[in-house]
Amino acid sequence: QSALTQPASVSGSPGQSITISCTGTSSDVGGYNYVSWYQQHPGKAPKLMIYDVSNRPSGVSNRFSGSKSGNTASLTISGLQAEDEADYYCSSYTSSSTLEGVFGGGTKLTVL
Amino acid sequence: EVQLVESGGGLVQPGGSLRLSCAASGFTFSSYWMHWVRQAPGKGLVWVSRINSDGSSTSYADSVKGRFTISRDNAKNTLYLQMNSLRAEDTAVYYCARLNVDIVAPDYWGQGTLVTVSS
């Protein structure tokens, strides 16, 4: 199945806010409120940061927030900190695959 | 504490076989669907396979269909991925992940095991 579309890279200075987009279709992002976001530091396993479009698991900072409009979901990180520098992946339920899920290609966040 | 620990990775020649294991603890393994996800060096995450809670339903990415087999032993709290006819493009870190059906997404991941297919 086709991956969701994310920008390859975004950057921001400490204290600023950034937004990462994730564009799919009506068969995935646009059709269901099952969008998740994962943070991955180099050499580490992905960590769930947002689920069901805008919900944060226990322990995740409220500087991380999610939203969705049409076929595009977004992850916003406010008050950027050095430790936020990582790769971020969106994921969505999809009706187009028996695997039921599809990932975005990933976005490298650089904190300047 | 939920823990997923993969093992079984290594260097294998093209055309060879390997079996990955994922030992689960800290939760009722038999109640959860499980996934294998891989990440080629410097690349993104890709779903490989998933299995339902009792092992009666499985699904595979087109790229591995017919070559990989996912299975589980709920008595041993262990997930498996049998990989046959390995190709260079199967080189990746393989993660097992627990699927949370309430959010339809993996919520816990193992640390991964590296599979390198090369002569």
Which runs of consecutive H residues, i.e. helices, occur in B1-119? none
Cβ neighbour number for residue A60 with a 10 Å cutoff: 16
Interchain proximity A99–B59, CB inside 8 Å = yes
Q: Kindly list the residues from chain A whose CB atom is less than 8 angstroms away from the CB atom of residue B109.
A: 45-47
Which residues in chain B are contacts of A48 at CB distance < 8 A? 105-108
The pLDDT value recorded for residue A101 is: 85
Residue A98 has pLDDT above 80, yes or no: no
Q: What is the mean pLDDT of chain B?
A: 95
Is the Cβ pair A104, B44 closer than 8 Å? yes
Per-residue pLDDT of chain B (119 residues; tens, 9 = 90+): 999 999 999 999 999 999 999 999 999 999 999 999 999 999 999 999 999 999 999 999 999 999 999 999 999 999 999 999 999 999 999 999 999 888 888 999 999 999 999 99
- How distant is the Cα of B59 from the closest Cα of chain A, in angstroms? 6
What mean pLDDT comes out for the span A13-17? 96
Contacting B with CB below 8 Å, chain A residues are 3, 32, 34, 36, 38, 44-48, 51-52, 55, 57, 89, 91, 93, 97-106
Residues A3 and A105 sit within 8 Å (Cβ to Cβ): yes
- First-to-last CA distance in chain B? 40
pLDDT given for residue B105 in this prediction: 87
Mutation test of the interface with chain B: which of A48, A58, A95, choosing the one with the most B Cβ atoms within 10 A?
A48
Please name which of A79, A70, A62, A74 lies closest in space to residue A37, comparing C-alpha atoms: A74
CB contact at 8 A, A53 and B104: no
Interchain proximity A106–B103, CB inside 8 Å: no
Minimal C-alpha gap between B80 and chain A (Å): 17
Residue B104: the pLDDT is 81
Please compute the mean of the pLDDT values over residues A48-77 and round it to a whole number: 96
Does residue A1 surpass a pLDDT of 60? no
Confidence category of residue A61, pLDDT binned at 50, 70, 90: very high
By Cβ distance, the residue of A3, A48, A99 closest to B44 is A3
pLDDT tens profile B85-105? 999 999 999 999 999 888 888
**Tens-digit pLDDT profile for residues A77-86:** 999 999 999 9
The minimum CA-CA distance between A96 and chain B, rounded to whole Å, is 12
The Cα angle at residue B4 between residues B2 and B7, in degrees rounded to 5:
165
Q: For residue A2, is pLDDT > 70?
A: no
Distances B113 to A72, B4, B73, B79, B98 between C-alpha atoms, Å: 32, 11, 19, 13, 16
- pLDDT above 80: residue A97: no
Nearest CB to B107; choose among A44, A48, A93 = A48
Res B100: pLDDT: 87
Query: What is the DSSP-derived secondary structure letter of residue A51?
Result: B
Q: Are the Cβ atoms of A101 and B104 closer than 8 angstroms?
A: yes
Q: Across all residues in chain A, what is the average pLDDT?
A: 94
Q: pLDDT at position A100, please?
A: 76
